[in-house]
Amino acid sequence: MALPAALLPPRPWRRAGAVLLCVAALVAAATLPVAAADADRADLARRARADDPQVLAISLDGLNPSVLTRLGRAGLPHLWRMLDEGAWTLEARSQVELTLTLPNHTSMVTGRRVDRRRGGHGVTWNDDRRRPRTVQRAAGHPVSSVFSVVARRGGSTALYSTKTKFSLFPRSWPGAVDRTVIREEDDAAVVAAARADLVAADRDFTFLHLGAADQVGHASGWMSPAYDAAVRRLDHLVGQVLADARREPALADLTVLLTADHGGVPGTRDHADRRRRADYRVPFVAWGAGVAPADVYAINPGYVRPGRRQPDLAGRQPVRNGDVANASLRLLGLPPVPGSLYGKKRPLEVANAA
């Protein structure tokens, strides 16, 4: 279901962008071979229309961004396409308190830190436990999410994951997650389900968690040959989604955000030491409708580059995986998650195709 148009504020860049892109399309038509010009025109037209915005947030569990530079465009062509065409940084940060899967994903969907005593979501565990039963019970206070904000405005959402512990989310926001598909350690099945639903159901917000890199990292070591192979498989799966986004008229307004919960230390089978750069350094990439190539930090002057550090939560913040919630809502023209921390005053901007 699409969000009611009245809820979507006008976006000046949409109109200005359309004019500029038409000019660009004419120039392209005059200078490129016919097939390339057609593809370019279709792509430009797609980017100029964002009347019914949709967001797909992808988390590649355990993706240490060094693998992107090491394997390069030849090894990871689809992820690199996102970088070449998108707004991105490889210097985003995980949560300060923990570099574990469930706590960081809960931050992605709530926009909150972890520590419940400081307004965080309180999810400190990383397994299938049913006590506490919900994020709210863990926090000891009400906790909204990107799912609940979209649902409250009449939109629809979906969750796809390769780990059963993600059932915490539909338990915590019942009625706000319209479709949940969890296939333990089966990334291909989850992607196939998400692709079909994205085209058929016109979701406003979809969350897609893929676990292969983390799984192989624990079994064989981060940056091992098996880890590289797993990331290549993930690249292929992400490429299928990107191809759909380019081809399917229903996905003309889709913006993809891609990040990770944490990295992992090369040569080890672990990512639990929150003080290690290899654990707290993650990518943050935006691609698709409304997104032009950019350094995310360059277009968000309110955020501060972290250098090699993991800044604490006092003062200006680096881009974090917890920015997913409010960056997504901004793309959808919706207000930030109540009670959130990351980007609540000024959500991370990724739609820069003006």
Binding positions for Zn ion, rule: CB under 5 A? 214
Helix (H) or strand (E) segment spanning residue 157: strand 157-161
The encoded tokens of residue 155 equal 């939109």
Give the shortest CB-125-to-Zn ion separation in angstroms. 13
Phi, psi of 301 (to 5 degrees): -65, -15
Closest residue (Cβ) to Zn ion?
Answer: 214
Give the shortest CB-106-to-Zn ion separation in angstroms. 15
Give the shortest CB-261-to-Zn ion separation in angstroms. 8
Taking the CB of residue 249, how many other CB atoms lie within 10 A of it? 10
**Chain centroid, CA 57 distance in Å:** 3
- Angle at the Cα of 55 from the Cα atoms of 111 and 167, rounded to 5 degrees: 60
Q: Which is nearer to Zn ion, 15 or 129 (CB)?
A: 129
Residue 16: HSE in the Cβ half-sphere, 13 Å Cα cutoff: 7
Q: Which is nearer to Zn ion, 214 or 349 (CB)?
A: 214
Give the shortest CB-207-to-Zn ion separation in angstroms. 18
- Are 264 and 276 in contact by the 8 Å Cβ rule? The answer is no
Q: Which is nearer to Zn ion, 214 or 323 (CB)?
A: 214
Q: Tell me which residue of 252, 177, 253 sits closest to 208, measured CA to CA.
A: 177
Give the shortest CB-62-to-Zn ion separation in angstroms. 5
Distance CA 57, CA 66 (A): 21
Q: Which is nearer to Zn ion, 187 or 214 (CB)?
A: 214
3-state DSSP assignment of residue 69: helix
Q: Which is nearer to Zn ion, 263 or 288 (CB)?
A: 263
What is the 8-class DSSP label of residue 286? E
Give the shortest CB-262-to-Zn ion separation in angstroms. 7
Give the shortest CB-97-to-Zn ion separation in angstroms. 16
- Are 255 and 350 in contact by the 8 Å Cβ rule? The answer is yes
Give the shortest CB-220-to-Zn ion separation in angstroms. 13
Distance CA 195, CA 250 (A): 12
Distance CA 187, CA 199 (A): 19
Give the shortest CB-193-to-Zn ion separation in angstroms. 23
Distance CA 319, CA 153 (A): 27
**Chain centroid, CA 1 distance in Å:** 21
The encoded tokens of residue 212 equal 């292969």
Beta pairing, strands 179-182 & 205-210: unpaired
Beta pairing, strands 281-288 & 87-93: antiparallel
